[in-house]
Each structure stands twice: as C-alpha cells, then as structure tokens.
Structure 1
Amino acid sequence: METTTFVYDYSTEVDSYGDCNRDDDNNLGAQLSVVYYFMFVFSLCGNGLVLFIIQRFEKLTTVTNILLLNLVFSSLIFMITLPFMAAYMQLGTWIFGKAMCKVYGCFHYLGFYSSVLLLALLTFDRHLAVVYSLNTSRLRNHRYVLMSCAVVWLLSGLACIRSMLLHNTFQFKNRYTYCEEFPGELTYIDAKKVKDVGFYLQLVLFLIFPLVVIIYCYVRIVITVILSRIATKFKTVRLIFIIVLMFFICWAPFNIVILLSYDKNNTCEEMKKLGYAQQITRNMAYIYFSISPMFYTFVGKKFQNYFRQLLVKRFPCLRNYISVQQFSRTNMSTKTTPSA
C-alpha cells in the first residue's frame, strides 16, 4: 500500500511541509481508514432504521421528529464522503476527478457543520421542553423548528464557500494527484484570508458555540430534574451525563488537534506527533457523528419500544420474551403486551 507524504488536514497547505517526511502517520491513517467503510454501512443501516421507525410509528410533523430527520440527513451527507476519503487515504492519490473533488469537499463540510449545529439545536430544544415545559408549548411549534433548521442549513452552506473556492485537484512534485484546499488557480482571491476566516469561523461557530450551548442546556436540565425530586428522573441525569461525556470524548479532541496543527511554527517532529493524534481523533469524531442520530433516537423509551415492536413482528417467536407497549400515532392510548 502506497502512502503520500502530506498531512490529511484541510487547514494547511501542502507545500508548507517542505521535506518533512510524513509517511509514518499517513500510513497509520491509511490503515485506520478501513473503518470508514464499516462506518458508512453502519450509518446507512442505522439511520435508515431511524427513518423507518419515525415514518412507521410517529408523526413526521412534531418538533423533535423534524429535528431528528434533519440530523439523520446531515449524518448521511457526511457519511457519503467516507468511502471516498478511505480510498483516497489508502491509494495515496485522488482518482475520482476534479468535479467530484469539489463535491466531496462540500459534502464533507456541509455534513460536518450541520451535524454539529443540529446537535446543539436538538439539545436546546430538549432544554426548552424540560426547563420551560409549560411556557414554551406555543414557542415549540412547526414554524419554530422549520425556521431553526433553515438557519442551520444556511449557516452550514455559507461556511462551505471556502471549500467551494479552494478545494481542487492538483499534483505535487509530479507524483500524486491531491484533492485538497489549494489556491493555485485563484488569481483574484486572497486565499490566505479565505482560509484564515474559514478556520476561525469553524473554531467559533462550530466548536466553541455548540460546546457552550450543550453544556449550558444540559446543566439546566440536570438542575431541573434534580429539583423535581422524582426518583425515576435520576435515570435521566445519568443518561445526560453519558451523552455529554460521549460528545466531549469523541468530538473535542479532534478539534483541539486541528487547532494545534494550524500553528505554522510547528517543527517537523511536532507535525508528526500531531499527525498521529489527528489520525486517531478523527476516527473518534466520525464515529460519534455516525451514531449520533441513532443515539439521540433510541435513548427514549418510546423509540426503544418501537424497535421491540419491529422485532416481535419480524420474529414472532420473541413475543414471549420481549415486552411491547403499543402506541398510537397520536399517543393517546397504549396497550401493553407483557413478557412471559
């Protein structure tokens, strides 16, 4: 397997590495990229299941379901790029052409950015529902959620302008074809300013802002649940802690490494170490984005019950072992089938 000598990082220029040999950390990335194929298949199956359950059992017009649908589509847009990324990293050269390079770059960023903002929006909506449950019933309506999602997609699309302008195919030292941010063909645009603005936009809007929103909302949710003094609600506190912990473990390290890699004064040895860290933390971040729609869906007892209904319907022999509660689409009546 042949590897290249560049760092697979959109925030840096290929020619800035000079003679620093990066074969080792790129080889690690090529080996780890095999996981992307499994992420892609798993995401298709898992997100497809989420879509089927929402369509089969739930109303498609509720606030939570509209947010989940947008999160699923965002995750799928991002996951579509993973097989291309895996092939690129394994072959060491881009084989899909110039047009596909721009499409790949735009889809990658669009899925990544929108997923982050939608996770923050979903968290904020749950915060409204729990903390201000009586006062926000009129606010959390169809118009509110459609406008919120439209803002998310608009911001994510605008943030992709950098990729549309800079993402291109080129050859470096006549060895391989790269698909990276390269300003070689832009004569009337200050590529450095475009890249700097894009970097700080990603740092503030897609890292700091979502983290602040998620931390604030979950702290308020936990306080509200604890003050309610309902014993069964403490399970919700544990669940919230797991959600926040997973978010930080899987997502924050990758962004921190990207931030450190942006320093142009890094030595070759420092770039190698950051390269190893980036290959590992990237996989952690991508795993979270691949499972986030399913994770946010199946933490609810109602969706867990819908999944059990599907299992019982598909495998009747499980009926005596799985407890199923029948929900109507209007959620007005239920019927419980006890397990043996």
Structure 2
Amino acid sequence: METPGYEDDDYYSLCGMDDVNRLGAHLSILYYFMFLFSLCGTVLVLVIIYRFEKLTTVTNILLLNLVLSSLIFMSSLPFVGVYMQLEEWIFGKAMCKIVCSVYYLGFSSSVLFLTLLTFDRHLAVVYSLEAPRVRNQGYAVISCAVVWLISSLACIKPMVFQNLYQDNLINKARCEELERYNLTETTVYHLKNAEFYIQLNLFLIFPLVVNIYCYLRITITVLSSRIISKYKTVRLIFIIVLLFFLCWTPFNIVELMSADDCEQKQRKAYALHITRNIAYMYFCLSPILYTFVGKKFQNYFKQIVVKRFPWLKTHISCHQNSSINNRSTKTTPNYL
C-alpha cells in the first residue's frame, strides 16, 4: 500500500506530477469531513453500546474494535489533508513516522475486523445451535488480539523507512519513504515483492473470499428459515456486500497495478486519488453500517433522540423495553 500524499516522488520533476498532486490537494478537503463524520458516528455507537448493551458480549467486543480501528485510521486523514494542501510536511519527523504508521495500522485492522465480523455473523446465523460453544468472550478477545498483531506488523515498514527530508526542488519538507538504508538492490527487490503479495493476498483476496463465502451461506440460511424479516435482512446483507465491493476493491486493484513509464504512472496516480477517497468513505461508514442496520440499534438511537428532544416523541415510535428485541435475536446476531 502506498503512503498517502504526493505520488511518485522519484519522478516529481521528470514525470510532471504537479497536476496529479493538485487534484489530490482538492480531494483532500473531503478528509476533514470524513474525520468529523467518523468521529461523530464513533461516539454515537460507543454511547449506544455503553448505555444499552453489555460490553462483554462477542458482538460488542468485535464492534468496539472495529470502531476503534476505523477511528485510528480516520485520525491520520486530517494530517494527510494538511500535507497535501500545503505541499509541505509541517508536523516534524516524529509525527511523520507516527501518522504513516497509524494510517497503515488503521487501514489493515479495519479490513481485517470487517472480515472478522463477517465470519462471526456467519457463525451466529449458519451454526446458531453450535455457535454459542465457540462464540465466547475468550474467542472474541483472542481473535481481536490476532488482528491487532497482524495489523501492527504492517506498521514496521513505515516506522523504519518513512522519514522527513528537505526536497531541494521545491525547497519544502517532505514526509516520504526513503531508500532502504544499506540494503542491496536484490534485497529491496525481494522486499517489494513480499509487500506486493502480502497486500494482494491478505488485504484483497482473503477478505473478498471470506466475505463472499460467508454472505452466501448467510443468505441461504436466512431464506430457508422462518424468520419474518428474512427478505429485509437479505437486502441489508446485499447492500453491505455491494458497498464493500464498490468502495474497497477498485482502490486495491489500482494500487496493485504496475506502472513502468511516465504516462502509466500519471494515470495510476490519478486513479489512486479517486479510488482512495471512495475506499476511505466505506471505512468511515462501516461502523454505522454494522450497527444501525439492526432493529435493536435503531430503537436505541430513537430512544436517545426522544430523550434529548421530547417534542419528537409523537413523531418517533420506539420501544423503551428491548426485551422483545433481545428474545428475537437468540437465533440471529443483534446487528441483523
């Protein structure tokens, strides 16, 4: 995964990336809105889970980690936005490494937690009778720990190679990945190959295969059951999968494409700016999608709104007692 910011630093003067970077600067204005929206959504999800749900359930442990990973990822975007608009890194060497590491940590953990939530949803729906023996607090904690460990490994490269340097061509400080220190050409080649295949397999093929398989099994199970709201559930599942494909896949495909000459590098840079923003939007929306598609969370949200604005009570219907909802979710996860 390429570091967000200015594209193709080695070809800045030779390949004419000014127009590409100008486009990135304009699009980066969206980063501030994404961050604010993600922050508000995260706070809302946390408030609802804290007030109405048990923090120790499997579903809520996974949701809390997804919310945290999305917030970690989004917290890097305002810094990237400022960098792209000022054409200079003004936050110092330490923040250069930290922000890029946070970006990688949030990105990779968000993808893996989305995949983990899909797998957990699959267990709860398809294996509803056997799942409780597996889906316990220990399973959730261990799963989350594995995801954070794998995601932390993705931070090693930016923490080591990302650095601050003075670009003499534009006389401004740049936060970019410098040449691999004291490494031979062969070693650098193998490192780049390893990065490519890790990105391809772990953050593209693996999540897509898991999501497709799990959602197919969920859809078949729900349609063959006697759940009253089965068609609505399947429709919601289809929307989540469709958004995942539309928002996340193009960015990864473009990122993995090779670019040998100047023209190809320019086209790839343009495509990366556009698809990157689309992918960011999904990460921004994912915690809300995975919570408010369920009737329970919708009802909790209505209760908060009615309590805050009593005059809306006549326009919003909500159940103050969620025991009915709790009984109805014994065979399905509480986010369906």
Aligned CA distance change for structure 1 residues 331 and 59 (closer, same or farther; 3 Å): farther
Query: How many residues in Structure 1 have an aligned counterpart in Structure 2?
Result: 324
Partner secondary structure for residue 159 of structure 2? helix
Q: How much does 1:196 deviate?
A: 3.1
Check the 8 A contact 1:162/1:195 in 2, yes or no.
no
Separation of aligned partners in 1, 2:8 and 2:145: 33
Q: Which amino acid in structure 2 is aligned with residue 259 of structure 1? A: L
- Out of 163, 170, 174, the residue aligned to residue 178 of structure 1 is 174
Q: How much does 1:198 deviate?
A: 2.3
Aligned CA distance change for structure 1 residues 196 and 13 (closer, same or farther; 3 Å): farther
- Out of 123, 130, 141, the residue aligned to residue 136 of structure 2 is 141
- The match for 1:187 is 182
- The match for 2:113 is 118
Q: Which amino acid in structure 2 is aligned with residue 181 of structure 1? A: E
- Out of 219, 222, 230, the residue aligned to residue 225 of structure 1 is 222
- The match for 1:48 is 43
Taking the TM superposition and a 5 Å limit, the aligned residue runs for 1:1-340 are 14-15=9-10, 19-175=14-170, 176-183=172-179, 186-187=181-182, 190-228=187-225, 230=227, 232-260=229-257, 263-265=258-260, 267-327=261-321
Give per-residue Cα distances to partners, 1:94-144, cap 9 Å, x unaligned: 111111100011100000000000000000000000000001111000000
Structure 1 length normalisation: TM-score? 0.89
Check the 8 A contact 2:247/2:281 in 1, yes or no.
yes
Separation of aligned partners in 1, 2:22 and 2:304: 43
Residue identity over aligned pairs, in percent, reads 60
**Aligned-pair Cα RMSD in Å:** 2.2
Q: How much does 1:147 deviate?
A: 0.3
Q: How much does 1:199 deviate?
A: 2.7
Structure 1, unaligned runs of 5 or more: 1-6, 335-340
Structure 2 length normalisation: TM-score? 0.91
Q: How much does 1:171 deviate?
A: 2.9
Q: How much does 1:230 deviate?
A: 4.4
Aligned CA distance change for structure 1 residues 8 and 54 (closer, same or farther; 3 Å): closer
Separation of aligned partners in 2, 1:124 and 1:301: 21
Q: Which amino acid in structure 2 is aligned with residue 253 of structure 1? A: P
Identify which range, 9-18 or 20-29, moves more after superposition: 9-18
Separation of aligned partners in 2, 1:306 and 1:179: 44
